[in-house]
A and B are shown apart, each in its own frame.
Chain A
Amino acid sequence: MIRLQGLTSRGQSKKFARIFTLTPYIFRNPILPALFLFIASCGFNHETNVESGTRQGILHVGNGDEPRELDPHVVTGSIEHNLCMALLEGLLDRDPESLDIVPGVARAWEVSEDGRTYRFHLREDARWSNGDPVTAADFVYSWRRALLPALGNNYAYMLFYIRNAERFHRGEITDFNKVGVKAPDDLTLVVELDNPTPFFLQLLTHMSYFPVHQATIEAFGAPDERGTRWTRPGNHVGNGPFKLKEWVLNRSIVVEKNGHYWDAGRVKLNRIVFYPIQNATTEERMFRAGQLHITGTTPLDKVEYYRQERPEVLKLFPFFSTYYYLFNTGASPLDQVKVRQALAMSIDRQQIVEKITRAGEIPAFSYTPPEVNGYRAEPGFSYDVERAGALLAEAGYPGGAGFPPLELMYNTSEGHRRIAIAIQQMWKTALNIDVTLVNQDWKVYLDKRDARDYQVARAGWIGDYLDPNTFLDMYTSNSGNNDTGWSNLRYDTLIAQAGETTDRERRFALFREAESVLMTDLPIMPIYTYMSKALVSPDVRGWYPNILDIHPYKYISLVQSTD
């Protein structure tokens, strides 16, 4: 065809050149340069979010994802927790730096001798954002609501330490008066527990124990109705340092200072804007371009850049969470303890944290993170390739001979993929075992894990409160979270004993013993303790790194930094 045109006439090309000058401008594509100029003119000299925010006391925060809801008894994630923490306040609070328990709605409290009865004295000046006083009855109402079976509260079990709470939740009793929470008067709340629970005060800072405003809940539906409109701007009534101003789906949530809050004098921020940014790369770029004060995380590959170039904004600190692999102990060859030990011992965790994850994660040889509120786990095993080879030989696979190919399942994510690739190679080199990697979409992964339809699977666990129990009780035989098929009577007994013990040292000794059972049998293989990797603008004050990665907004202020 090209030649055909040449065939029609040689003069054609000249003619074309002439048309070309006649044809309207679009054919010459000045669009691109024009667009370029337009783009250029848009930029320049705009005050960034961070600059204007710092000036006006508006904090811009990257907050992971769109919250499912703002109802503290319906949601469970950390994204929602960040928001609930701004909008509501529990009986107790945490110091942002030390994480020590500090007064919240309760100004003081007493614990009985046997550690089973708590008496809380509420402060008189606690108010809801509409001016109503916060009373002890509000807490009774809220905890009852949190336990109502039809609400479908995933975190209902957090309240099961209260006497009869579990039975109420299961519908075995319907009279809430039998549950161990009473309000003798407006400012006193009495709570009775089944067992002395040393971490009970910590639980009160968790959103599942937060109060909700009865009149507001019931103006928009039944107490146990999910997803009513009470959490919408204009409807929402809270008792936290901030109140809900605006909520645009998938774009932003704006909260502003709550004048009725009892400690309003301490609140320095006028507003907080939460952005639901899922993509960590996008979040980091928004931070770099001055659109955010704080990010939730830093992309894997950016940590090094910040460490070198802007160490003052990169906040790396251990997080109360363990990255580990599950072994399905129900099927050969992973039913043999020696095989599991060999696999666990042949991984060079130092290499993984230095070369793959690269944020200074701590190689893990125990399931609980290194230091939990005074509890220190012993390393249960070590990195020892020779010993691993010997163990594998004892299990009947000398030099990996005859070992069936192993399938390693992880949910789709770049980070998991990288770690799996490294481990695949390490097992091949150290033990001569062939590993196939299988990545699954999140829900398929959960389904297979739950059905124990896997051999090795990646997992991670975030502790709910600062106590070894939050990690260790999940591998008891009847725990819904134990997907390994592992069951050990001694372990179960030790955990149960610890639950009934009040003496701190004895309790920790029991946990240590239990953990050494777990780390000998190795139904799970710890890899490392996570690091939190936030980016925080130097303008932000009152933000402290801590192991729970919670940063109450009440204490945060913005000051123009001097660079």
Chain B
Amino acid sequence: MLRFIFRRLLQAIPVLLAVSVITFLLIHAAPGGPFAEEKAVPPEVLKHLNERYKLDQPIHIQFYDYISHAVRGDLGPSFKYPGRSVNEIIAAGFPVTLELGCYALLFALLIGIGSGVCAALSPNTWRDYLPMMFATIGICLPAYVLGPFLVLVFGIWLEWLPVAGWELIPGDKILPSITLGSVYAAYVARLSRGGMLETLSRDFIRTARAKGMPEAVIIFRHAMRVGLLPVVSFLGPALAGLLSGSFVVETIFQVPGLGRYFVQGAFNRDYTLILGTTLLFASLIIVFNLIADIMLAWLDPKVRHETING
């Protein structure tokens, strides 16, 4: 097991390197520099800015410079925010995004697995249709529709919750978490329903039933283990997506997280900020996928051998 984890972490090095090379090339190929503004920047000012941020050097030297700092943990200064380093921006935003993501995930798993399994246990009854209907609507209502709608209902009409902010007013974390979590809840619900239905019809469940095992044991110990495999595969990318995809939610609810930099960094051509957040995102994907694979193995003993020793 440890060897497996070690090997996967070793594989992370070429992945991160590839990500940074490709991203570096992409952003430098994109038109419009980081300093362009509505009012034309005088050429002499631009020249000094380019010198200051070493943009006047050949691209391979810039890259070498960036990487050699990055491996030492220095992601460079932000171009848009002259007084901030990328490390500082990540340090300020990431914990917030992580917290938001955790609440959202918790919400998604509770609601999603709960209603998905519930639906699978009594297929084609109202217990199936009702949660699945909500799941379907949930998928059709992306965050940019659901968020403003929830704000309208709970913030403006009922006046129960703050309409925006993060740690500004008690209760302001609830709506963003629900908004971010609900799309994922809908996915989890559908995937777990599908997986459970499939599993409940398998031979080993029938055998267990024939042996007279208690239903609760069958469902929790046996069926869910296998039935939730698709959910687990989905979770790796979903978790990473929760963190980077919180852009919309963060904008709607004025949450000072990192998600908005994934998109805004690109719009602002804040080269170092794009690279920094992308590398962070890549690391998260590697870690979450690793966790998902370990969980897959743990849930399915037959796979364990294949994944970990194979």
Contacts of A154 in B (CB 8 A): 37, 39, 41-42, 45
Evaluate contact between B160 and A42: CB separation under 8 angstroms: yes
Q: Is B151 an interface residue when CB atoms closer than 8 A count as contact?
A: yes
User: Of the 9-residue stretches B9-17, B111-119, B227-235, B238-246, which lies at the interface with chain A?
Assistant: B111-119
Q: Is A277 an interface residue when CB atoms closer than 8 A count as contact?
A: yes
A410 to chain B: closest CB distance in Å?
Answer: 13
Cross-interface CB contact of B44 among A74, A169, A291, cutoff 8 Å:
A169
Q: Is B301 an interface residue when CB atoms closer than 8 A count as contact?
A: no
A residues 142-186 near B (Cβ < 8 Å) are 149-154, 156-157, 169-171
Please judge, given known A-B contacts A69-B82, A282-B252, A443-B267, whether A27 and B121 are in contact too, CB under 8 Å: yes
In the complex, per-residue mask of B125-140: 1 if CB is within 8 Å of any chain A CB, else 0 = 0010001000000000
Evaluate contact between A285 and B161: CB separation under 8 angstroms: no
A70 to B306, CA, bound (A): 57
B268 to chain A: closest CB distance in Å?
Answer: 7
In the complex, per-residue mask of B163-198: 1 if CB is within 8 Å of any chain A CB, else 0 = 111111111001000100000000000000000011
Q: Is A46 an interface residue when CB atoms closer than 8 A count as contact?
A: yes
Contacts of A248 in B (CB 8 A): 92, 256
Evaluate contact between B256 and A250: CB separation under 8 angstroms: yes
Please judge, given known A-B contacts A39-B161, A286-B254, whether A29 and B114 are in contact too, CB under 8 Å: yes
Evaluate contact between B169 and A291: CB separation under 8 angstroms: yes
A16 to B219, CA, bound (A): 11
Evaluate contact between B163 and A153: CB separation under 8 angstroms: no
Evaluate contact between A226 and B31: CB separation under 8 angstroms: no
Q: Which residue of B lies closest to A153 (CB)?
A: B45
Q: Which residue of B lies closest to A459 (CB)?
A: B38
Q: Is B87 an interface residue when CB atoms closer than 8 A count as contact?
A: no
Chain A residues touching B, range: 35 or more
Evaluate contact between A157 and B81: CB separation under 8 angstroms: no
B292 to chain A: closest CB distance in Å?
Answer: 22
Contacts of B89 in A (CB 8 A): 249
In the complex, per-residue mask of A23-37: 1 if CB is within 8 Å of any chain B CB, else 0 = 100111101100100
A432 to chain B: closest CB distance in Å?
Answer: 33
Please judge, given known A-B contacts A23-B219, A282-B164, A444-B32, whether A49 and B169 are in contact too, CB under 8 Å: yes
Please judge, given known A-B contacts A275-B254, A282-B253, A443-B33, whether A450 and B169 are in contact too, CB under 8 Å: no
Contacts of A16 in B (CB 8 A): 121-122
Q: Is A2 an interface residue when CB atoms closer than 8 A count as contact?
A: yes
A288 to B117, CA, bound (A): 41
Q: How many B residues touch A, CB cutoff 8 Å?
A: 80
Evaluate contact between B122 and A282: CB separation under 8 angstroms: no
Evaluate contact between A2 and B254: CB separation under 8 angstroms: no
Contacts of B155 in A (CB 8 A): 285, 289
A251 to B256, CA, bound (A): 5
Evaluate contact between B158 and A43: CB separation under 8 angstroms: yes
Evaluate contact between A18 and B215: CB separation under 8 angstroms: yes
A294 to chain B: closest CB distance in Å?
Answer: 16
Q: Which residue of B lies closest to A287 (CB)?
A: B163
Q: Is A442 an interface residue when CB atoms closer than 8 A count as contact?
A: yes
Q: Is B124 an interface residue when CB atoms closer than 8 A count as contact?
A: yes
A284 to chain B: closest CB distance in Å?
Answer: 10
A477 to chain B: closest CB distance in Å?
Answer: 14
B88 to chain A: closest CB distance in Å?
Answer: 8
Cross-interface CB contact of B174 among A2, A39, A231, A460, cutoff 8 Å:
A39
Q: Is B148 an interface residue when CB atoms closer than 8 A count as contact?
A: yes
Contacts of A215 in B (CB 8 A): none
A460 to chain B: closest CB distance in Å?
Answer: 8
Contacts of A291 in B (CB 8 A): 162-165, 168-169
Please judge, given known A-B contacts A31-B111, A285-B163, whether A443 and B269 are in contact too, CB under 8 Å: yes
A114 to chain B: closest CB distance in Å?
Answer: 29
Contacts of A481 in B (CB 8 A): 39-40
Contacts of B164 in A (CB 8 A): 277, 282, 285-286, 291
A16 to B32, CA, bound (A): 62
Evaluate contact between A281 and B219: CB separation under 8 angstroms: no
Q: Is B83 an interface residue when CB atoms closer than 8 A count as contact?
A: yes
Evaluate contact between B48 and A150: CB separation under 8 angstroms: yes
Q: Is A279 an interface residue when CB atoms closer than 8 A count as contact?
A: yes
Q: Is A560 an interface residue when CB atoms closer than 8 A count as contact?
A: no
Contacts of B269 in A (CB 8 A): 443
A residues 27-59 near B (Cβ < 8 Å) are 27-29, 31-32, 35, 38-40, 42-44, 46, 49
10 smallest A-B Cβ distances: which pairs? Answer: A443-B32, A43-B160, A227-B82, A250-B256, A42-B171, A480-B40, A227-B83, A19-B215, A447-B32, A251-B256
Partner-B contacts on A (CB < 8 A): 1-2, 4-5, 8, 13, 15-20, 22-23, 26-29, 31-32, 35, 38-40, 42-44, 46, 49, 66, 68-71, 74, 76, 149-154, 156-157, 169-171, 226-229, 231-232, 248-252, 275, 277-279, 281-282, 285-286, 288-289, 291, 441-448, 450, 460, 480-481, 483
5 residue pairs from A and B, CB less than 8 Å apart: A20-B122, A149-B48, A152-B48, A249-B84, A446-B38
Assuming A1-B201, A447-B36, what are 6 further A-B pairs, CB within 8 angstroms?
Answer: A19-B215, A170-B44, A285-B163, A285-B164, A445-B32, A483-B40
